[in-house]
A and B are shown apart, each in its own frame.
Chain A
Amino acid sequence: MNLAAGFRMVLALARKKLAQELAYKASLLMWFIFPFLFIAPYVYQARFFAGPGGEGVGAFTRLAGTDNYLGFIVVGATLWYWLTNLLWEIGFSIRDEQSMGTLEQLWLTPAPRWLLITGNAAANTVINTFMSLAVLGIAHLWFGLRLTADPGLLALACGLSWLALYGMGFFYSGLVMLLKEAEGVVRLGNEVVLALAGVTYPLAVLPGWAGVLGKAIPLSWALKVLRGILLEGRGWAALSGDLLVLALFAILTPAAGLACFGALERVTRRRGILGEY
């Protein structure tokens, strides 16, 4: 398979997914309303804790290293939302194919299976990214969020984060295929990540053991780097160590995720439950 054929396969999968999504008009309405509905509760809760005159911000600044509590919460929640959607989509795309009865037919094509997973999630990744940008836009226009960034550094950090988080998705898809159950698997994963990755609070507030576990989650490092760039305006030199860790995750997580997916997919075929739902 050459690169052009692989690209066409990803596009075909994305187009198929998009056509299926657009067949349900309620999805479109949700896309427009959701960004505001998603971010508003986080912002109001953060303002409530900060106090009307910002009395609570001091304690926050000591632990988070920034007084931009609004930016901290919005960046954390948005990235978590992006990851949640990614895992949800990857997990459910396999489950949907299983439930519709199309998974075996998809698996009968010579396309590499990792590419089928990637392609199935590609359309959602695009939608998801636009939704995440919409969340940031609403936070800027409605709630006065201020972000600064070196565009090149931001692009690199987003790329590395994308790879690291996508790797988690491969593992999820294998697990969903084997267990024939998506909701519990994805929900559990999301809640663990939410609790340990420092989405709405700094890792420093976690108990020691939980903080250690948190550092093993790629999202924690993605958040650390992106907050450093967007909230504190930190540059290449200041973030080099954290970028290196994120780069390692960007290499190791997809490799480990693919290996797990391959092993779980093989168990599924060995048990003969690929087409079952």
Chain B
Amino acid sequence: MSGIVTRNLTRVFTMRQEGRVRETLAVDALDLSVAPGELFGLLGVNGAGKTTTIKMLATLLEPTSGEAWVAGRSVTTEPRAVRANLGCLLPGERTLYWKLTARENLHFSGTLHGMPPQRLKQRVSEVLELVGLAGRGDERVEKFSSGMKQRLALARTILHEPPVLFFDEPTTGLDIHSARSLRTLIRNLAGAGRTVLLTTHNLQEAQDLCDRVGIIHRGRLVALDSPENLRRASSASDIVVLRFGPGPAPLRHVVAAVAGEAAVRVGLPAPEVSVAGDWADATASAAAEADGLEIAVKGRGAAGYAAELLVALRDRGLGVLGLETRRPGLEDVFVELTGHQAPASMDEVAAEGVDAG
């Protein structure tokens, strides 16, 4: 068995603050089963318990109670066997030896994983090639960019060909190209039969990459399914986004009125009209943007109501530049389940236009 299983996995941190002992429940009775060959995403805001979970599974942190198995080995009674079957990419670029070359870093890690010298030499060349660093293998890591360091860290993670891989926030802080190539590598690794546990802030990344995701909130697993099933089961609404050309301020009120009337005609409750990206307050406010006025209409079944709305707007002489219907995304599910706005990096994803391929 090369998957991951946790049973009641719990971690409590005890801290002394101003003379008082304070206990924080970081992971609360986590029950999880990741099948061999699955790419599983663990999502949550900062402090939700993702990294604590990874560290317990990687034997860097002792669970307070419960048990976990990685590749069929117990993290508490067989930690060395777990580590032998595991590749773990921790966050931060300081996990490499900067004064050593890329090749030296890989040789060092491979040797500590007990790889035979001949195989190690061959494998180092393979992984350097795989992460696009074949020509830079003999340069010191201190000369590398953040993206190159992260790719080298990934090469080290997969060097000894472990059946289980953990990636903790692998694309945080990377530029668009580095993030894309890293995602492609992760996808390929999962495709090659490795079990992958990925933690990320980046919901689009999880939606695009993962077979299943678990949403962890205050140490508890609050949702567990495929991104598609989570979206389908969500009570979040469909979304219609209309884009108009530049127009006078009253336009938004007119559109709001038209949208309301159109909704009544097709038997929908009055839609929420708001500026795109400001769904929470559900007001009819809007803002002029450089390319015109953008208004989103939100309501159950709104996708089917777009045509009715377009006709109504045309009848009032309001030309629409663009129309887009959208089903709820993982971000909407996340907000619904955790009560949090999507993590900050979501904005970065939107800005960089994540590779969805």
Contact = CB atoms under 8 A, between A and B. Distances in A.
Interface stretch (A107-115, A198-206, A245-253): A107-115
B87 to A, nearest CB: 9
Contact of B111 (A12, A271, A274): A12
Given A19-B99, A100-B94, A107 B108 contact: no
Interface size class of B (residues with CB under 8 A): 20 to 34
A108 B83 contact: yes
Interface in A13-39: 13, 15-16, 19-20, 23
Contacts of A271: 14
Nearest to B83: A110
Nearest to B80: A110
Contact of A16 (B13, B14, B108): B108
Contacts of B95: 101-102, 104-105
Contacts of A269: 59-62
A9 interface: yes
Dominant secondary structure at the A interface: helix
B90 interface: yes
A5 B83 CA distance: 16
B139 interface: no
A109 B97 contact: no
Contacts of B100: 16, 19-20
Give the most central of B59, B96, B114: most A CB within 10 Å. B114
A140 interface: no
A243 to B, nearest CB: 36
Given A20-B97, A105-B95, A272-B13, A9 B111 contact: yes
A259 interface: no
A102 B97 contact: yes
Given A19-B104, A20-B99, A110-B84, A104 B113 contact: no
A275 B94 CA distance: 11
Interface in B88-128: 88, 90, 92, 94-100, 104, 107-109, 111-114, 117
Contacts of B94: 100-102
Nearest to B101: A19
A111 B97 contact: no
B97 A272 contact: no
A270 interface: yes
A121 B60 CA distance: 22
B96 A109 contact: no
Contacts of B80: 110, 112
A103 B198 CA distance: 22
Contacts of A215: none
A266 interface: yes
A104 B90 contact: yes
A237 interface: no
B55 interface: yes
Interface in A75-106: 100-102, 104-106
6 contacts: A12-B108, A16-B104, A104-B90, A110-B114, A272-B55, A275-B60
Given A108-B88, A269-B60, A274-B60, 5 more contacts: A100-B94, A101-B95, A104-B60, A104-B95, A275-B60
Interface of B: 11, 13-14, 52, 55, 58-62, 80-81, 83-84, 86, 88, 90, 92, 94-100, 104, 107-109, 111-114, 117
Interface of A: 1, 5, 8-9, 11-13, 15-16, 19-20, 23, 100-102, 104-112, 116, 266, 269-272, 274-275
